[in-house]
Amino acid sequence: MEQFIEWITQPWPWWVAGPLIGLTVPTLLIIGNKSFGISSSLRHVCAMCVPANIPFFTYNWKKEMWNIVFVLGVLVGGFLATTFLANPETILVAEATQQDLAALGITDYSQLLPAEIFNWENLFTGKGLLFFVIGGFLVGFGTRYAGGCTSGHAIMGISSLQWPSLVATIFFMVGGFLMTHVLLGPLMKLVGF
């Protein structure tokens, strides 16, 4: 038992985490004929709370409740994993990435997210505006414009061999590379790193 606890609290390797994520696709199809996708939950929240007569938000969201329940499960799962199965060590990040990030002022590896960025004190600062407000907006706007996110396009879409999803995934990566290699450094300087 002790060995099992020790094993399960370690970070899981990619060849465990990846296939388990892939299995979500057939699981959702078999238990209820549902296509895997997470960003749609954001749309359902809009449809539920502020539809404002916008055609894009007037549909039978009650039929999509499963999606909201699913993401609430993801939240609870995050809580359970962190509370009961947390890895006691600091997160191991590639040496080269550590060097790159040190140059940007990020050196704290005690948690899964860098403490220098993701804390409430940063909320009403340029850092908060960039990482939470603008970052979140780009995620929400872009994913809906693209008709899905990494789960809906990269996993579900490519798994069902749909080339539009491959196109979307390629452009997810293009945007990410541009932000990381060109924009991130100057933007972080601008907000005080």
Partner 1 sequence: MSVIDKKIETPKDCGTPNHKEVNENGIGLLKYLIVGMLFGIIFVKGEIVSWFRIQEMFRLQSFYMYGVIGSAIVVGIISIQLIKGLNIKTIHGEKIVVPKKEFRKGQIIGGFIFGLGWALTGACPGPLFAQIGSGFTVILVTLVSAIAGTWVYGRFADKLPN
Taking CB under 8 A as the criterion, which residues in 12-71 touch partner 1?
Answer: 12, 14-43, 45-46, 50, 52, 54-60, 62-67, 69-71
* Binders in 146-185 for partner 1, by CB under 8 A: 146-165, 167-181, 183-184
To which residue do tokens 């061999």 refer?
Answer: 161
Least separation in angstroms between CB 65 and partner 1: 6
The residue within the footprint of partner 1, chosen from 5, 85, 103, 190 (CB under 8 A), is 85
The residues near 134 (Cβ < 8 Å, ≥ 6 apart) are none
CA distances from 126 to 97, 117, 123, 193 (A): 24, 11, 8, 10
Least separation in angstroms between CB 1 and partner 1: 18
- CA 162 to chain centroid, in Å, comes to 22
Whether 126 and 191 have beta carbons less than 8 Å apart is answered as yes
Query: Toward partner 1, which CB reaches closer, 160 or 192?
Result: 160
Query: Toward partner 1, which CB reaches closer, 1 or 52?
Result: 52
Least separation in angstroms between CB 6 and partner 1: 13
- CA 183 to chain centroid, in Å, comes to 20
* Binders in 99-138 for partner 1, by CB under 8 A: 100-101, 109, 111-114, 117-120, 122-123, 128, 130-138
Whether 93 and 109 have beta carbons less than 8 Å apart is answered as yes
Query: Toward partner 1, which CB reaches closer, 1 or 110?
Result: 110
In whole angstroms, give the CA distance from residue 94 to residue 98.
6
Whether 165 and 148 have beta carbons less than 8 Å apart is answered as yes
The residue within the footprint of partner 1, chosen from 78, 89, 105, 192 (CB under 8 A), is 78
Query: Toward partner 1, which CB reaches closer, 105 or 119?
Result: 119
